[in-house]
Structure 1
């Protein structure tokens, strides 16, 4: 006696063995196509990263020294320009601009000081053929130059501020005088003590 054919139920419909094999084959093809599309889909670009010591290591030592020297010279020019802006704000007696420029000036001085120290260390690392240290010190100078350029832009914004700009944390307290009359000033009180007399009688009848 021949056994009955195995039936499978998919979506409420019955298929025979041959139909099952065709259904499985189509399903495998669909899954394979989806996998291929997922593999060939373009990946999003990587997030930008800061200047690293590995990239700096690709720069020849002679160019490291040259670029570091130019960067420090550029930062010194920015320092002189900001000092002139500070003097301009001081002559104008503008406290808002003076404080704003002075804050940026302090940061620029600190970055320039660090860069000059890194430049000396860079020269020593190049002379001793220490690629790791030279790349590290070179990177510090380049990053400091970028920050100084940004601070210079912020100084220009400081100079463009209005002289009467108020501090957002400043509180204004108003004291009300105690000798003011009460009542509604738009409705004056009637004047008392005024007697209205009729006009005198005429002599002519």
Structure 2
């Protein structure tokens, strides 16, 4: 088939129009798709940059806090002299930490030991309602703050009336914690 015969063919005209119009439209569609992807990636990059800025500010704030010196270990211990006063001090500190974390303290129980036997550690059991993010903040404050407190046990369950398969970002939780604080050994 020669070129003249091909031009005379019926399908050559519509095919040429389809190619001349279709290829630019296809390239335009690909360009628009790529622009949409770039825009979505830009939004994700901006979100990640904002999150990193928050993390960096937290790290700088933590780095700016003065660390206790090796010679000053008194900050590690509860300041109360007796066991009952130490329990009260620990309860007050934990109530403040729960409040700052956005939780609601339900109950605090302590081991009722007589003050005649010296105790180096005091354990309290707390029941509280708190959100997921608040629980993270509370545990961080307990484990990293002064005086030295340790989490002995944690029991976490969703609040009653909520489905366990719920996909909430910050679900309400019922938390039971056992936290131990330490007293300086008596020198008497």
Establish whether TM, by shorter chain, passes 0.5.
no
Bigger Rg, structure 1 or 2? 1
Q: TM-score, normalised by structure 2?
A: 0.31
User: Greater helix share, 1 or 2?
Assistant: 1
